[in-house]
Structure 1
Amino acid sequence: MTDAVSPLLATPGAVRADGVDEGVAAHYGNPNVEQRRLEDGTAVVDLSHAGVVSVTGPDRLTWLNSISSQALDRLAPGESSETLILDPQGRIEYDAHVFDDGVTTWLLVDRVETAGLFGWLDRMRFTLRVEVADRTEEFATVGTMATDAASVGLEIAAPNGVPLVWRDPWSEIAVGGWQYASEVEHPAATWDFSEVLVPRASLTALAKRAGTGTPVLAGTLALDALRIAAWRPRFSTEVDERSIPHELDWMRSAVHLDKGCYRGQETVAKVHNLGHPPRRLVMLHLDGSDTVLPAHGDEVFAEKKRPESEAGWRGVGSVTSSAIHHELGPIALAVIRRGVPVDAPLEVHTAETGEIVAAAQVVVVPPEAGSTAGIPRMPRLGVRR
C-alpha cells in the first residue's frame, strides 16, 4: 500500500485533503465548478491514494463468491460488481469494488482497507488455486463520470487486453439485491461513476497535461458532494464497527439474497426477512445560515415528543459524511436510530465549534425496513450494463 503524495498535488491551485483522503487534492480552487465538471463527464478526480488488490488463479471467482456477499462466480470479463466481507455476526469488515478481466479479478478498496483485506484474503486461500497480491504500487485509481474514460485523457491499464474500468453498480438495483429506499426516482439513477486503473508511473505525465487544462481536475470534495446526494455509502465514512448492510441500503448493490452460504449470511437473511436493522441511513439538508458544516462523527439530536413545557433533545446518531452541494447546498449523510420518527426535528451539534445546526431529514432507509418475508421484490431500476 502506498502512502506517497500524488503528483497531481503539484498542479496549480491544488489544495491537499486531510483525513481519509490525505495524499490527494481536496479541490483545485472551486469545488462547486468541479462538481459540475464531474457531472458533465469532463473532469477526473484523483483517487490514487486508494488500494488495489488482485486475485489470480482458476479458482478466483468461485472462491470470492464463497467468502463474500455478492454472487461473483459468473462475473464476465469487463463486468463490474461490488461485494462486502462480513464477520460471523453480519457486520461489515470490508467493501470491495470488483471487476474481472478474464485472467485477474481486481478489488478496488479504500486505503484503510488495503492491508487488512489483503492479509485476510491471503490467509483464506488454503489449498485453492488462487494468488492474492497488493498492486497499489503498480496501479493508481482515477475517478470519472465520463461515458468513455479514454475521452478524458486517461491512460487506461489493460494488462490482459481488457481495460481496467470499474463502473459503479449503485445506479440500479443489482440482480439478487433489494432496495429499502421507497422513492421511485432514486437519486442514484443519475450516479454514473467509474473508477479507472492507470499505471502509477503515468500520474506524473497526467499532472503535466492537467496543468494545461486537459484533463480538467476535480477534488475529493466535489466527488463527496455528488456521492452524498446520490445516497451512496462509502466504507471509510459510513461504516463503523456495528454496521450491517441493511442500515446503509447496501443491499441494492453489494448483497445477493439468493446465492449460497457465506460468512454473515444468517444475519443478512434474518434481519431482511424477519427483523429490522437497528439503525438507518438518512440524508440531511443542513441549515447553512451560519456557514458551519458538521464533520464526521458530530452527534445528531432529535426532539423528544413531550408536552411543550418539557421539551428536550436526545442523541440519536452521528454524521458520517458532509459536503456543500452545488445545487442542494449543505448536505450530509448520517446514521441514526431506527425508531426516530421520519418527521422528527433534528439538529447536529458540532464538536469543533460547539455550534448547533438545524437539519431536515430525508429518509433513505425507512424505519420499517426489513421483515420482507412475503413482500414482492421491487423491480430493478434501469438497464444493467
Structure 2
Amino acid sequence: MTIIDDVHEAHGATFVERGGRRVVRDYGRPARTAMAVRHVVGAFDAAYGVVTVSGSDRREFVNDAVTNVVPREDGEGAYALLLSPEGRVRTDMYVYEADGRLLCFTPPGQAGWLAEEWDSRTFVQDVDVARASDDFAVFGVHGPKATEKVASVLNGAGTPAEPLSFVRGSMGDAGVTVIRNDGLAGEEGFEVVCTASEAERVWDTLLHHGNNATPFGYAAWETLTLEAGTPLFQTELDGRVPNVTGVRNGVDYEKGCFVGQETVARVENVGRPSRRLVGVELPGVEDGDALPGAGATVSVDDEDAGEVTRAAWSPHREAGIAFALVPYDADVEHVAVDVADDDGALDGDVVALPFVDGSDRSARVPTYD
C-alpha cells in the first residue's frame, strides 16, 4: 500500500501492484495526464522502498555492495545497482548521505529483502540496517515547470541545483527534503521526502498550493519514462547485465570491489554485450489499440531478432513506442513486433533515444561504446 491510499482513493485513483506493493495506476485518462505533465507539471506518489543504514562503517559497508561510489557529504546522492555474483541486476537504488546515515531508495517491493540481507551481513562492523518504507513518503514532481512549482511552496531553502543533491526546508508546517532528480521523465524533476505523518499535508500542498500540479500514477510514469528513454528496474533492468541495458551512469568501473564486478568488467573489456536496448516506434498504432507486451517477439526479415521489454502509446508522438532488446551487432532499421497470437505483427522503425526531448535529459538513456 502507499502511505496515503485513502487520499488517492478520494481523488478517484485506480491501483495496480508493483513489486508486490499497491500503487496508484492512474486517476483516469493517463495519456492525457502524461501530456499535462509534459507541458506543465505533475505530482506522483513514487512509493519507493526505503532502507536506512547508520553507524560509523555505513559508507564502507554499502560502498562494498553497490556498483557506484557512495556519497561522502551530507546533501549528496548517487545512483547505483546491486548485482548478483553473475553480474546481473538484483535491484537499483538511489543512495543519499543524510544526517549521519545513508538513505537508500529502492523500487517498490525491493526494500524488505534488501534490508534483511544487509542486516545479516553486518558482522563486526558498526552498521545498523533497517527497512523504513512505512516511515517516509516520497513524492515526485516532474515537468518543465517543476522548478517553479517546488519554489512556489518550498520555504527555508532554494531548489537544489545539481542532480542528486538535496536541500531541507518546509512546505506549510511540514518539514521536507527536496532532491533534484536525474531527469527520469525527460523533464525537470524533484523528489519531495517527508515523514509518513506529514504525507497527506505535503501531497495536498503539491497539488493545490502555489502553482498547481496534476496528480498522476504509474501508467503515466511508465509512458513518460519510456518517452524519455529511461530503463526501469521492473521492465528493463531486473536480471540483466548492466552493459546490455546501457545504463552506464549507475556503474563506476574504477571503484573498489563490489559483487559481480569481475563479470561486469569482463563484458566491458570485451566491449560487445550480447544485446542492446533500442527504441522502436510503431507508427500504425492509434490510442487504444493493442500494444505488444513484455517478451513479445521482434523479427527482422521474418527471423526472430529480439524481444520487447515495455510498450506504450505516446501522446506526444501520437504513435506506439517500445523498448526492445536486439542483438548487439545487428544493423536494424525496421522490425516486425508481435502483438498477440491472433493479432499478427506491427511494423516498427528503430529510432534514436529519447523518443521525446523535454526540459531535461534522463541520465539513464542507454549508452554503448
* TM-score where L is the length of structure 2: 0.79
Gaps of 5+ in 2: 156-165, 170-174, 354-363
SS at match of 1:340: coil
Matched residue, 1:81? 78
Aligned partner of 1:359 among 318, 340, 348: 348
The structural deviation recorded for 1:151 is: 4.1
Whether contact under 8 Å (2:56, 2:126) holds in the other structure is yes
* Alpha-carbon distance change, 39 to 101 in structure 1, aligned in 2, over 3 angstroms: farther
Q: Distance in 1 between the 2:267 and 2:317 partners?
A: 33
Matched residue, 1:135? 132
Whether contact under 8 Å (1:237, 1:296) holds in the other structure is no
1:161-180 matched pairs, under 5 angstroms? 164-169=177-182
* Alpha-carbon distance change, 302 to 295 in structure 1, aligned in 2, over 3 angstroms: closer
1:280-295 matched pairs, under 5 angstroms? 280-286=276-282, 287-289=284-286, 291-295=288-292
RMSD, aligned α-carbons:
3.4
Whether contact under 8 Å (2:298, 2:324) holds in the other structure is no
The structural deviation recorded for 1:361 is: 1.3
Whether contact under 8 Å (1:78, 1:165) holds in the other structure is no
1:28-39 matched pairs, under 5 angstroms? 28-39=27-38
Aligned partner of 1:338 among 315, 323, 328: 328
* Alpha-carbon distance change, 75 to 210 in structure 1, aligned in 2, over 3 angstroms: closer
Pair 1:317 & 2:314 matched: no
Matched residue, 1:244? 241
Higher strand share: 2
Matched residue, 1:263? 259
* Identity in percent: 25
Residue range with higher mean Cα deviation, 221-230 or 132-141: 221-230
Number of residues of Structure 1 aligned to a counterpart in Structure 2 = 338
The structural deviation recorded for 1:52 is: 0.9
Matched residue, 1:229? 227
SS at match of 2:110: helix
Q: Distance in 2 between the 1:256 and 1:147 partners?
A: 29
Q: Distance in 1 between the 2:39 and 2:123 partners?
A: 46
SS at match of 2:332: coil
Deviation string, structure 1 residues 237-273 (Cα, Å, up to 9, x no partner): 11243x111111111x201121112111112222112
Matched residue, 1:309? none
The structural deviation recorded for 1:106 is: 0.9
Q: Distance in 2 between the 1:204 and 1:212 partners?
A: 12
Matched residue, 2:14? 15
The structural deviation recorded for 1:157 is: 10
* TM-score where L is the length of structure 1: 0.76
Deviation string, structure 1 residues 79-106 (Cα, Å, up to 9, x no partner): 2211111112211111111111131211
* Alpha-carbon distance change, 207 to 86 in structure 1, aligned in 2, over 3 angstroms: closer
Whether contact under 8 Å (1:278, 1:337) holds in the other structure is yes
Q: Distance in 2 between the 1:82 and 1:204 partners?
A: 28
* Alpha-carbon distance change, 170 to 259 in structure 1, aligned in 2, over 3 angstroms: farther
Q: Distance in 2 between the 1:290 and 1:222 partners?
A: 14
Matched residue, 1:124? 121
1:60-99 matched pairs, under 5 angstroms? 60-72=58-70, 74-99=71-96
Whether contact under 8 Å (2:291, 2:311) holds in the other structure is yes
Residue range with higher mean Cα deviation, 51-60 or 108-117: 108-117
Pair 1:144 & 2:141 matched: yes
